Amino acid sequence: MEDETVTPEGLPKRTGNNLDPWYHHYAARAAGLSASEVRALFAVASRPEVVSLAGGMPFVSALPDEFVMGSLERVMRERGPVALQYGSGQGTESIREHILEIMAIEGIEATLDNLVVTTGSQQALDLVAKLFLDPGDVVLAEAPSYVGALGVFRSYEAETVHMAVDEHGLVPAALQETIDRLTAEGRRIKLLYTIPNFQNPSGVTMSAERRAEVLQICRANEILVVEDNPYGLLWFDRPAPDAIRSLDEDGVIYLGSFSKTLAPGFRVGWALAPHAIREKLILANESAILSPSVFSQLVIAEYLEQVDWRTQIDTFRGLYRERKEAMLEALEDHLPELSWTNPNGGFFVWLDLPPELDSKAMLPRAVRELVAYTPGTAFFDDGGGRHNIRLSFCYPTPESIRLGVRRLANVVGGELDLLTTFAGTGSLQFDDRVRRTSTPPSNLA
């Protein structure tokens, strides 16, 4: 009888589905790869008629073009053959020296030796996950947390377990309770992932007291802390507390990036890690990409040497502060019954919808009303966030922000009217929530 599992040439037949003939050939971890809700919005949000309050894109137009172009020209004129060549898997010495200067602002003392330059901090996060996560391992994270991190952990077949956050950041008692519960269940907790400064998406900042307490809990339970800090220098009224890494050299991997304070197009980030971990990060980096872009590193180093970059970051602070204030004023004018966070830096406001509404289900209507946002579900790995929205104020002008919030208010009002009509229960009332403060909405408390 003819063997139907092989071709006439004796080769194994491919088996798959109608859309992908290689479906059954993928590794099991490929099942964890999926398009994030943020990335899926880009095509819609880029339409000129849509006011996008969705993407966390820095306003790169505020950069001094003449200095950026000058840096590009000088690198190519003076170091072109080096800039276009392969480089070290650890990164160039010149950019690492500047990174040390930047981290010192947040109390970090380090050496060039323990820094690894990566293709954005997103790649650094992927390398850390690759080194530490086995299938079934647990990563602890704030509720909500960065969508890009959740996708990375999922791709390595780990489970993210969320913990409560309030206006002072991650709640230590919730961290301890979660550790105790998971340990009793026999689960392996490998990492605590945290964005302590102007968190994406909630906008809250972890207090100095909380940082020390969270670190102490992780030390006692032998849990490595991954501190992701892309927004730390973008404060409005006062700097954030010193980095968690400033309190411990051995128990924290610190991730940084030039994407928010300079430009994401250069794709330059870094990891500061304990020595033994640093060695493995370099090997993993070389295995993944051979070396980070020498060209990008040299251009950024040249820019930082020629430009008063501290003043430029202060320009960004003023710009983002103005846009945040425009958003909060618009929310107060058009959605006063709702609650939201009031961040002291960064890019994001976290909005709490009435419990009757589903932010993900409401999004198509919002797009029809020519406003885009990111549903809260993108920032949870356990199905949470349906009654929340992340609003980004970093990229649109203040006028566009006001228009976008007005359109969003029409969407919310329309959804509530529909519910009232079909439920037949009379007018739906909003909860009497605290608002216009730095206190996060009820889902973060």
**pTM summary value:** 0.89
* 143 DSSP assignment: S
Q: Which domains does the chain have, with CATH numbers?
A: 37-62+311-444 (3.90.1150.10), 65-306 (3.40.640.10)
Give exposure, 13-42, as e/b (b: 16+ Cβ within 10 Å): eeeeeeeeeeeeeeeeeeebeeeebbeebe
Can you give the pLDDT at residue 442? 45
First to last CA, the chain: 67
Q: How many CB atoms lie within 10 A of CB 425?
A: 9
pLDDT exceeds cutoff 50 at 118: yes
pLDDT exceeds cutoff 50 at 428: no
Strand 138-142 vs strand 189-194: parallel, antiparallel, or unpaired? parallel
The vertex-155 CA angle with 377 and 25, nearest 5°, equals 125
Contact criterion met (CB below 8 Å) for 370 and 428: no
In the chain, count H helices and then E strands. Answer: 12, 15
Render pLDDT for 266-302 as a digit per residue (tens, 0 to 9). Answer: 999 999 999 999 999 999 999 999 999 999 999 999 9
C-alpha to C-alpha distance for 437 and 317, rounded to whole angstroms: 20
Least confident span in 35-39, 64-68, 336-340: 35-39
pLDDT exceeds cutoff 50 at 436: no
Q: What are the helix (H) ranges across 88-200?
A: 93-104, 120-132, 147-155, 172-184
Render pLDDT for 57-108 as a digit per residue (tens, 0 to 9). Answer: 999 988 888 888 899 999 999 999 999 999 999 999 999 999 999 999 999 9
Enumerate the β-bridge partners of residue 269: 118, 257
C-alpha to C-alpha distance for 352 and 369, rounded to whole angstroms: 20
C-alpha to C-alpha distance for 220 and 270, rounded to whole angstroms: 27
C-alpha to C-alpha distance for 172 and 216, rounded to whole angstroms: 10
Render pLDDT for 7-28 as a digit per residue (tens, 0 to 9). Answer: 566 655 555 565 788 878 888 8
C-alpha to C-alpha distance for 220 and 210, rounded to whole angstroms: 15
Render pLDDT for 179-226 as a digit per residue (tens, 0 to 9). Answer: 999 999 999 999 999 999 999 999 999 999 999 999 999 999 999 999
Residue bearing the bigger pLDDT, 130 or 445: 130
Q: In this structure, what token pair is assigned to residue 79?
A: 């170091």
Phi-psi sector, 422: left (phi>0), alpha (psi -120 to 50), beta: alpha
User: Where do we find the tokens 């993928």?
Assistant: 26
Provide the mean pLDDT of the chain: 90
Enumerate the β-bridge partners of residue 371: 51
pLDDT exceeds cutoff 80 at 346: yes
Strand 115-118 vs strand 348-352: parallel, antiparallel, or unpaired? unpaired
Contact criterion met (CB below 8 Å) for 357 and 416: yes
C-alpha to C-alpha distance for 227 and 244, rounded to whole angstroms: 7
The one-letter code for the residue type at 242 is D
pLDDT exceeds cutoff 60 at 432: no
User: Where do we find the tokens 């996708």?
Assistant: 151
Can you give the pLDDT at residue 439? 44
C-alpha dihedral over 232, 206, 210, 116, to 10 degrees? -30
Q: How many CB atoms lie within 10 A of CB 265?
A: 10
Q: In this structure, what token pair is assigned to residue 181?
A: 């519960």
Least confident span in 178-192, 379-393, 404-418, 423-437: 423-437
C-alpha to C-alpha distance for 214 and 192, rounded to whole angstroms: 10
pLDDT exceeds cutoff 70 at 5: no
Reduced to 3 states, what is the DSSP secondary structure of residue 249?
A: coil
Q: In this structure, what token pair is assigned to residue 337?
A: 């019954």
* 208 DSSP assignment: H
Query: Does residue 48 have a cis bond before it (omega within 30 degrees)?
Result: no
Contact criterion met (CB below 8 Å) for 384 and 143: yes
Render pLDDT for 157-183 as a digit per residue (tens, 0 to 9). Answer: 999 999 999 999 999 999 999 999 999
Residue bearing the bigger pLDDT, 30 or 165: 165
